[in-house]
Chains A and B, each alone.
Chain A
Amino acid sequence: MGEANKNIRNFSIIAHIDHGKSTLSDRFIQYCGGLEQREMEAQVLDSMDLERERGITIKAQSVSLDYKARNGEIYHLNFIDTPGHVDFSYEVSRSLSACDGALLVVDASQGVEAQSVANCYTAIDLNLEVVPVLNKIDLPAADPDRVCQEIEDIIGIDASDAIRVSAKSGIGIEDLLEQLVERIPPPKGDPDAPLKALIIDSWFDNYLGVVVLVRVIDGEIRKKMKIRFMSTGRDFQVERVGVYTPKTKDLDVLRAGEVGFMISGIKEIAAAKVGDTITDAQKPAMTPLEGFKEIQPRVFAGLFPIESDQYENLRDALSKLKLNDSALFYEPETSQALGFGFRCGFLGMLHMEIVQERLEREYNLDLISTAPTVIYEVVLTNGEKKFIHSPSELPPVNKLAEIREPIIVGTILVPQEYVGNVITLCIEKRGVQKNMQYMGNQVSLTFELPLAEVVMDFFDRLKSCSRGYASFDYAMNRFEAAPMVRVDVLVNGERVDALALMIHRDFAQSRGRQLVEKMKDLIPRQMYEVAIQAAIGSNIIARSTVKAMRKDVTAKCYGGDVSRKRKLLEKQKEGKKRMKQVGSVEIPQEAFLAVLKVSDK
Chain B
Amino acid sequence: MTHIPLSLYIHIPWCIRKCPYCDFNSHAASNGLPEKQYTQALLTNLSNELPHIWGRKLESIFIGGGTPSLFSAESIDELLCGIRALLPFRPNIEITLEANPGTFEQDKFRGFREAGINRLSMGIQSFNPEHLQALGRVHDREEALRAADIARTAGFDNFNLDLMFGLPQQTLEQAMQDLQQAIALNPTHLSWYQLTLEPNTLFYKSPPVLPDDDLVADMQLNGQHFIKRSCYAQYEVSAYARQGFECRHNRNYWEFGDYVAIGAGAHGKLTNPADGSITRYHNYRQPAEYMQQAMQGTARSGTERLAAADLGFEFMLNALRLRDGFPVALFTERTGLASDYIKAGLEQALQRGLLDVEGGYVRPTATGWQFLNRVIQLFLED
Contact = CB atoms under 8 A, between A and B. Distances in A.
Interface of A: 525, 527, 547, 549-560, 562-563, 565-566, 569-570, 572-573
Given A527-B374, A559-B261, A573-B377, 18 more contacts: A525-B213, A550-B214, A550-B217, A550-B370, A552-B372, A553-B369, A553-B370, A554-B196, A554-B237, A556-B193, A559-B253, A559-B268, A560-B9, A560-B261, A562-B318, A563-B267, A566-B313, A569-B380
A572 B373 CA distance: 9
B250 interface: yes
B269 interface: yes
A111 to B, nearest CB: 43
B259 interface: yes
B349 interface: no
Nearest to B269: A559
A573 B267 CA distance: 25
- Pick the most buried of B254, B313, B372, B374: most chain A CB atoms within 10 A of its CB: B374
A556 B162 CA distance: 12
B201 interface: no
Contacts of A557: 237, 253-254, 317-318, 321
B367 A555 contact: no
A421 to B, nearest CB: 35
Contact of B371 (A552, A566, A569): A552
Interface string B202-223: 0000000000011001001000
30 contacts: A527-B367, A547-B214, A549-B213, A550-B213, A550-B370, A551-B370, A553-B370, A553-B372, A554-B372, A554-B373, A555-B195, A555-B237, A555-B238, A556-B193, A557-B253, A557-B321, A558-B250, A558-B253, A559-B267, A559-B269, A560-B261, A560-B282, A562-B269, A562-B280, A563-B280, A566-B313, A569-B373, A569-B376, A569-B380, A570-B380
A569 B316 CA distance: 12
Contacts of B310: 566
Interface of B: 9, 24, 193-196, 213-214, 217, 220, 237-238, 250, 253-254, 259, 261, 265-269, 280, 282, 304, 310, 313-314, 317-318, 321, 367, 369-374, 376-377, 380
A572 B380 CA distance: 11
A556 B220 contact: no
B253 A553 contact: no
Contacts of B238: 555-556
A553 B237 contact: yes
Nearest to B310: A566
Nearest to B256: A562
Contacts of A563: 267, 280, 304
A566 B314 contact: yes
Given A563-B280, A569-B380, A552 B318 contact: no
Contacts of B254: 557
A555 B162 CA distance: 13
Given A547-B214, A573-B380, A555 B317 contact: no
Top 3 closest pairs, chain A to chain B, by CB:
A550-B217, A560-B267, A555-B193
A554 B254 CA distance: 13
A569 B194 CA distance: 18
B317 A527 contact: no
A571 to B, nearest CB: 11
B335 to A, nearest CB: 13
B217 A551 contact: yes
A333 to B, nearest CB: 27
A558 B11 CA distance: 13
Nearest to B379: A569
Given A559-B267, A560-B267, A566-B317, A551 B250 contact: no
A549 B374 CA distance: 12
A553 B380 CA distance: 16
B280 A552 contact: no
Contacts of A559: 9, 253, 259, 261, 267-269
A558 B268 CA distance: 11
A18 to B, nearest CB: 35
Contacts of A562: 267, 269, 280, 314, 317-318
A555 B194 contact: yes
A573 B214 CA distance: 23
A552 B314 contact: no
B370 A552 contact: yes
A555 B192 CA distance: 9
A359 to B, nearest CB: 23
B253 A552 contact: no
Contacts of A553: 237, 369-373
A306 to B, nearest CB: 14
B208 to A, nearest CB: 16
A569 B369 CA distance: 16
Contacts of A527: 367, 371, 374
Contacts of A570: 380
Q: Which of A558, A559, A573 has the most CB of B within 10 A?
A: A559
A565 B316 CA distance: 12
A550 B321 CA distance: 17
A527 B369 CA distance: 12
Contact of A560 (B266, B321, B370): B266
B196 A556 contact: yes
A550 B369 CA distance: 11
Contacts of B376: 569
Contacts of A572: 373, 377
A551 B367 CA distance: 9
A525 to B, nearest CB: 7
Nearest to A558: B253
Contacts of A554: 196, 237, 372-373
Contacts of A551: 217, 220, 370-371
Nearest to A559: B253
Nearest to A554: B373
Nearest to A574: B380
A565 B380 CA distance: 12
B166 to A, nearest CB: 9
Nearest to B250: A558
A549 B250 CA distance: 29
A552 B237 contact: no
Nearest to A562: B314
Nearest to B194: A555
A588 to B, nearest CB: 16
A552 B373 contact: yes
A557 B255 CA distance: 12
Nearest to B200: A564
A569 B217 CA distance: 20
Contacts of A552: 370-374
A558 B194 CA distance: 15
